[in-house]
Amino acid sequence: QVRLAESGGGSAQAGGSLRLSCAGFGLTLTRTAYSMAWFRQPPGEGREPVAGIRADGTTDYVDSVKGRFTISKDNAKNTLYLQMNSLKPEDTAMYYCAAREGQLGRLLRLANYDTWGRGTQVTVSS
């Protein structure tokens, strides 16, 4: 059974940086193609996409984080990352990683993912 565990969340000031990690258990990225993504849920709002990455390394980002966030993965470590720079108060949210076996066409579609982590909180103060 595949399980995802996020870490790296915390508090930062506007303009600062944080790096999130998502460790995958029960999956082997070096042998099986997975699409993976980061989503976030601001306080009182619904879950929204942030960035996604396919098995072949191609990526997609929502416009609000382009140029500030970078998604990457280390197949050997079965770990997904999200480097967040130039943080803004509106980036405050619970951040979740998600995975789906295969090469997804629409990386940022929430319904495409069948495995989710429990989330890690990111709080950005002005």
pLDDT tens-digit profile of 36-49?
A: 999 999 999 999 99
For 58, the 3-state DSSP assignment is coil
pLDDT band at 10 (very low <50, low <70, confident <90, very high): very high
CA-closest candidate to residue 47, choices 125, 117, 102:
117
Q: Give bridge partners of residue 51 from the DSSP assignment.
A: 38, 61
Mean pLDDT for all residues in the chain = 96
pLDDT band at 30 (very low <50, low <70, confident <90, very high): confident
pLDDT on residue 109: 97
Residue type, 61: Y
> H or E stretch including 25?
strand 18-25
For 119, the 3-state DSSP assignment is coil
| φ, ψ (nearest 5 deg) of residue 112 | -75, -15
Q: What is the rounded distance in angstroms from the CA atom of residue 19 to the CA atom of residue 124? A: 13
pLDDT in tens, 68-108: 999 999 999 999 999 999 999 999 999 999 999 999 989 99
